[in-house]
Each structure stands twice: as structure tokens, then as C-alpha cells.
Amino acid sequence: MRYVQALSTVLLFAASAVAWASSGRVTDEASAIAAAKKYVKAQCSVEKPCHFKPRREGSQWNVLVEFTKRNEAGNLERYPGGHVLLYFNQEGQLVRRVKGE
């Protein structure tokens, strides 16, 4: 019985490790956007939402993040230089950041 409990504990830890390791991977548009949101969370909010455009380039993903601000009328608008291009490898690590000019 102890052997079965020990084996089930090991399997549970192994399954948790696999799930944790794959959770940060960038494999599709949704996971690319999720990775980008981690890096721009300070610039994006309900009052100033960001727009995300993911694109696959070879083995990497890039996400164009466009920032918004309110104009004099109170409407949201995008503005020149208000963007950043983030490049992620398949493990979800940021490998390059190109800020808008």
C-alpha cells in the first residue's frame, strides 16, 4: 500500500511539473498574446486598453502591442510611436523588444 501511495505521489508531482512547464510556452496566437500581456500590464488598463496583433515568424512569435490614449473628446485613439513589438521564443521568453518611435 505504501508503494502505491509513493508511486501516486511521484506521478502527481511529475504531472504537475509538466503542466507548469508547458503553461508558459508560446504555441499559438492566444498564448503569444498572454505572454505579451505580462510585459505590458503597466501600460494597459480598462481605461487605456491595448490592442494585440500576434504573428508567427519561423520558430518565434511576435506580438505588436498598440497603446491607446484618450483624445480631447474623451475617445480612445492610437497614436504615433504608441506601440511595441515583442518577440518570444517557443518557451515564452522575451528575446527582443522593439519600441515604437
Question: What's the pLDDT tens digit per position in 21-65?
Answer: 445 899 999 999 999 999 999 999 988 999 999 999 999 999 999
pLDDT over 60 at 18, yes or no: no
Residue pair 77/50 in contact (Cβ under 8 Å)? The answer is no
Give the pLDDT confidence score for residue 24 in this predicted structure. 85
Q: Which of 69, 61, 49 is nearest to 86 (CA)?
A: 61
pLDDT range class, residue 101, cuts 50, 70, 90: confident
Residue 92: DSSP 8-state: S
Q: CA separation (Å) from 56 to 13, 32, 65, 76, 77?
A: 33, 9, 15, 28, 26
Residue pair 100/82 in contact (Cβ under 8 Å)? The answer is yes
pLDDT over 60 at 1, yes or no: no
Report, as an integer, the average pLDDT of 2-12: 47
Where exactly are the structural domains of the chain?
Answer: 25-99
In angstroms, rounded to a whole number, what is the distance separating the alpha carbons of residues 20 and 41?
A: 22
pLDDT range class, residue 13, cuts 50, 70, 90: very low
